[in-house]
Amino acid sequence: MLRRADIRLITLTGPGGTGKTRLALQTAADLLGEFPHGVFFVGLAAITDPALVVPAIGQAIGINESAGQSLSGYLKTKRLLLVVDNLEQVIEAARPLAELLADAPGVKLLVTSREPLRVSAEQVYPVPPLALPDPRRLADLSTLSQYEAVALFIERAQAVQPSFEVTTANAPAVAEICVRLDGLPLALELAAARISLLSPDAMLVRLGERLKLLRSTARDIPTRQQTLRSTPTWSYHLLNPEERQLFARLGIFAGGFTLDAAETVCQAELDTLESLVAKSLIRPVGDRFALLETVREYALEQLAAGGESEMVGGRHAAFFTDLVDLAFFDRFEHEGRHSDQLEADHDNLRAAIDWLGATAPRLRLVGRLGWFWHVHSHLSEGRARLTASLAGSLKRDEDHAQGLAAAAELAAWQGDIEVARRLTDEAVSIWRELGRVQEVALALHELGWGYFFVSNDAESLHCMEESLELQQSLGYPLLLNRAQTGLLQVLVSAGELDTVEALAPEALKLAHELGDLRSEHFAHHMLADCPLIRGDCATAEVRYHQALQLAVELRDRSETAVEIQGMAMAAAGNSHTERALRLAGAASAELDALGIDNSGVRFWQELLDRYLGMARSALPADAAEQAWEQGRHMMLEHATEEAFALPQ
């Protein structure tokens, strides 16, 4: 950018610790030969008076205006680069800098600041944190070390302890440290400096108090960078009172927030929020905003110091309880929209649940989140939350019944049929007392799925048929069709393929007309199962492809993995053996990561054994294992892309 003739001033922005100064210095070093009159560094960390900025530039160049020398006169005929570091605390100097630049056509400015200068010549370059791995699916060690954040951590750790290396044992902790520290170079360097005292696993345990843990004893770095606490403190003290109050309140949000949430929970004024964004304390992320976790920890300290934690925490819990209520009562008609919103705010929901503690509103909240935890594959987490909340509940009321039904649904979809049966019986008993026929039908439907996952087709059919009868009495088309679709999937397991292929197209058509993507997805799936069972893999592959598209649209990771398994088996039957094993390996790894074991679905397991066995036998053993392991290390998103690319 600096090489372009039309760019005269670049401001590197970002929160403290992102490496703005280092990036500016490296850029300047790379361009030394392109500015015949030199490259000059002007550090402003010790300057608090804007009037001293221009004299500091003159001093760096060697111009003494008090002795009659003119800085502007000197610069007019020169081609040079000025690197001006840490302008945020003297931001009022932006105007004289712009005027200096306007009078010197051969001069360029590279500025670092936590907020833009807001002058017409400025080109803002936000400096992002370093690239991060996904701790849920770690690549091999050589690939892991190529992530920028991991590479910096290793480099700095080895400077302290030359024998340090990333191993299979410590790789998960190293990756999690990098993610928890937001990929901030300063935070990573301070963490790596502790490696002679703490192993990565021990360090990870202590990151909950990162502002205390991360400090340096190096004498040659600025005071504001010797501890992680100093970095947000430096920015905080540059804020006015309104900005400080809003910054502290915004710390209540975990994982980001919307403008509506900020206005409701924190009484945010748009101009004040915009100022915090400009000062790099808040990051815009699409149509949401977020604080880096290191910055958020500091904000929460200020919130507590200001005595507003309880008030803002209560507003936060109330806001997200209302969000969950809205989604719950509209979940069948607009599942995708509401589940995506809840996923975006999942960390906020966790925080709200924790804040509510052992109270009745907590049970109501988690009970109404059960459907979301199911469709977005958070089964184990949801069960743990529900179990904890139900433990203190004794009333036979709607909240208790909903909590039981939600816990039963998650247990059923994990194949824990004994727990699912017990919880469903108790929930149905309460629902019947309350006269809630719809809830009884829904609970029986989910229990039917539970029996399906352990291949107890007789009990599954009994539950599905009773649920269907109740839905027929109620006459709600969408849920009636869902009950029918669930019943048809059980008939696939029971081998009634002719019946399924006769009835499923009508269920598919109705699901499409109703806009019910979940039922449409299942209909495509069962219509793929039938030809796969019969050996018609070409037809099966096309239909699993359609089911996969809908699973991805639903953001349902478990169903996405299952459809990829279907694609893998069809690929094996179509003699695309390496593709089959890669896809199957990726699906297997994702299901393992989600804590889902579908081996109890006997007909599905038999199909997997049959088709993947064909693929393995068609390849040398080492080639088959290599393809499988390649898949095991693929991100689900990459596996999905490969699955979508149907072979010609």
pLDDT tens column, 550-582? 999 999 999 999 999 999 999 999 999 999 999
- Report pLDDT for 435: 96
Helix (H) or strand (E) holding 13: strand 9-13
pLDDT-based confidence at residue 270 (cuts at 50, 70, 90): very high
- Looking at per-residue pLDDT, the higher value among 443 and 143 belongs to 443
- Report pLDDT for 215: 56
Where is average pLDDT lowest: 173-177, 212-216, 577-581? 212-216
Q: What is the mean pLDDT of residues 431-448?
A: 97
Where is average pLDDT lowest: 16-25, 185-194, 218-227? 218-227
pLDDT-based confidence at residue 431 (cuts at 50, 70, 90): very high
% of the chain exceeding 90 in pLDDT = 71
Q: State the Cα–Cα distance between residues 377 and 339, nearest whole angstrom.
A: 11
pLDDT tens column, 60-89? 898 876 666 788 889 999 999 999 998 988
571-581 burial, b if ≥16 CB within 10 A, otherwise e?
Answer: bbbbebbbbbb
- Asked if residue 213 has pLDDT above 70, the reply is no
- Asked if residue 219 has pLDDT above 50, the reply is no
**The residue to which tokens 């002007």 are assigned:** 42
What does the mean pLDDT of the chain come to? Answer: 91
Please report, as a single letter, which amino acid is at residue 231.
T
Backbone angles phi, psi at 250, to 5 degrees: -65, -15
pLDDT tens column, 110-161? 999 988 999 999 999 999 888 888 777 666 777 788 889 999 999 989 988 9
pLDDT tens column, 190-201? 888 888 888 999
- Looking at per-residue pLDDT, the higher value among 24 and 139 belongs to 24
Pick 9-126's CATH classification: 3.50.50.60, 3.40.50.10440, 3.40.50.1110, 3.40.50.300. 3.40.50.300
DSSP count for the chain of H helices, then E strands:
34, 7
- Report pLDDT for 331: 95
- Asked if residue 217 has pLDDT above 60, the reply is no
Residue spans of the domains in the chain: they are 9-126, 141-228, 519-644
Backbone angles phi, psi at 111, to 5 degrees: -115, 140
- Report pLDDT for 186: 82
Closest CA to 367 of 321, 400, 318: 400
Please report, as a single letter, which amino acid is at residue 182.
D
pLDDT tens column, 620-638? 999 999 999 999 988 899 9
The dihedral region occupied by 377, where left means phi > 0, alpha psi between -120 and 50, and beta the remainder, is left
Instruction: Name the β-bridge partners of 80.
Output: 107
pLDDT tens column, 487-535? 999 999 999 999 999 999 999 999 999 999 999 999 999 999 999 999 9
- Looking at per-residue pLDDT, the higher value among 425 and 46 belongs to 425
Give the distance, in angstroms, between the CA of residue 160 and the centroid of all CA atoms in the same chain: 32
pLDDT tens column, 372-417? 999 998 999 999 999 999 997 888 999 999 999 999 999 999 999 9
Q: State the Cα–Cα distance between residues 132 and 406, nearest whole angstrom.
A: 35
pLDDT tens column, 458-480? 999 999 999 999 999 999 999 99
Instruction: Provide the sign of the torsion angle of the four alpha carbons 436, 559, 608, 628, taken in this order.
Output: negative
- Asked if residue 23 has pLDDT above 70, the reply is yes
- Report pLDDT for 64: 73
pLDDT tens column, 234-267? 778 889 999 999 999 999 999 899 999 999 999 9
pLDDT-based confidence at residue 306 (cuts at 50, 70, 90): very high
pLDDT-based confidence at residue 184 (cuts at 50, 70, 90): confident
- Report pLDDT for 227: 55
Please report, as a single letter, which amino acid is at residue 570.
A
